[in-house]
Structure 1
Amino acid sequence: MPFDGFIGNEAAIARLRGILERRRPAHAYLFSGPEGVGKKRAAVDFAQALGAKVTLVERLEDKHEILIAQVHEVIRELTYTSPTNRAVLFDDAHRMSEEAMNALLKTLEEPPERTLLMLVSGVADRLLGTIRSRCQTIHFAPLSDEALQRHAVQRLMLGADDAAAAATLAEGSIAALAELGPKIGELRAAAQDLQARILSGELNAVIEALGKIRDTEQARLDAKRKFRLLAHSLREVLRARTGGKTALASPDFVQKMGKLDDDEILDRIETLIDHERMIDLNANVSLTVEDALLRL
């Protein structure tokens, strides 16, 4: 059965099932929503349930975008082969070059017979408005922490505390949850080590450790991970004020940071987010981490 075992996004899945029951699909669909929530899987399940063979179009590994040549190749195949039930799935469709989008637009305006076009995108507003207007949009939302926790316990076999921490860090993404599961114990320990160093003022070891990482990209990833761990820990401090449970923040961190008012905590979270953006803009890793931690 299509969509069996699908986690979350009940409204989107119900809409797709309704289309399947009526057997009257549109010629083009846009599956929009954040990364890692099941858009691509839902699109494939939908097409296969309609009896269509799925052709995948995605960015080539050594390219920054989906090329016009890739779109032209698909269009030629659709134009010069005898019509059968077929589907073309453009994964990360927002990565198409402008020329590729314009080429696809012509096909959307005059779709081939017995052909389903599906665009999957986490940043749908980067697509041409004329493309979006010619597609039926199926919107997917981030999964709730509760849904992610259930999946982590039942399918990933995590304990309750690890499941709660993994769900928090996954930020609504089932794909991120699967990646986090095997290393959540390590991440929780790293979060609480950071918290202890902030509370004690012992920040040099953190900064020096980053400076010793020779792989610049790895240093950036490690710095961003630290910022996210601390941002989520501070969010748990806010949650604890209304009786919410904590999975990343230590009792000492909750107690001492809890002396700050809500706006002060939110300012610190914003500081971490801003400094993560600075890392993305190629700022010096050690100096950026030092500045962020001193502001906490």
Structure 2
Amino acid sequence: MAGTYSRTTQVLVIGGGPAGYMAAIRAGQLGLKVLLVERQFLGGECLNRGCIPSKALIHASELYHRLVTEGPEIGVSAESARFDLTTAMRWKDSVVAKERQGVATLLKAAGVSVLVGEAKFTGPKSAEFRAPDGGSERIDFDSAIIATGAVPITIPGFETDGKRVINSWELLSLTQLPKSLLVLGGGVSGCELGEFMARVGVSVTIVELMPQILPGLDADLARELSKTLEKWGVGVRTATKAVQLDRSGPALALTVEGANGRETLSAETLF
């Protein structure tokens, strides 16, 4: 859409995640003219890089894990069974794409117009839209909803590099499984993705600063999950602080401090 254009709308929504697209749909259902601007993919963090892709990979890993651990006991066996990460990632991407298309269909049914690109306010009732190809539009609106979401924080000394130190976005796009993985943080994402990796044969250790994994949730639930993770071979270190990360050797060396003092944990990858 190279060039400069202009348009008017009653409601401008910036951000196509759960807050943005639901607000846009409701406004459209109420009869308002709505324009939604999304930088990349409709659906937001949960659909594209969180709940949906992680659950898809967990499902695939569960099928594989049950086949190799429970199958022989009940007469189901497969010679040379292996987990094909490339195929699993491709299937995960297809699940995400289908859900994303579902969001687009709901927006269309509510009469919402969608533009892919970035929007920047230029006045109390105006904004500039810029498309990936460099084209731009002036947008005049009556009301605006800002639903731009968030980005992962960077912890000094533990900055991601996209290769050995990765965030959840990068883990969900791996092309090769590491032999070992340290998970810094035992929240929902850490436990879910740690579970996925452990089920497909990666050596996983979760390091959590708080006294339990899943901080803030019921302690009994956290204890049961810890038992399950440990049954799958996941090391769970609670009340343990990550002090320093050394990247100089062939393996990452993470210095941690817990009830028994300081020690060093090593792994191929840190998440």
Bigger share in helix: 1
Same fold (TM over 0.5): no
Bigger share in strand: 2
Higher relative contact order (CA 8 A, sep 6+): 2
TM-score tier after normalising by the smaller chain length: under 0.3
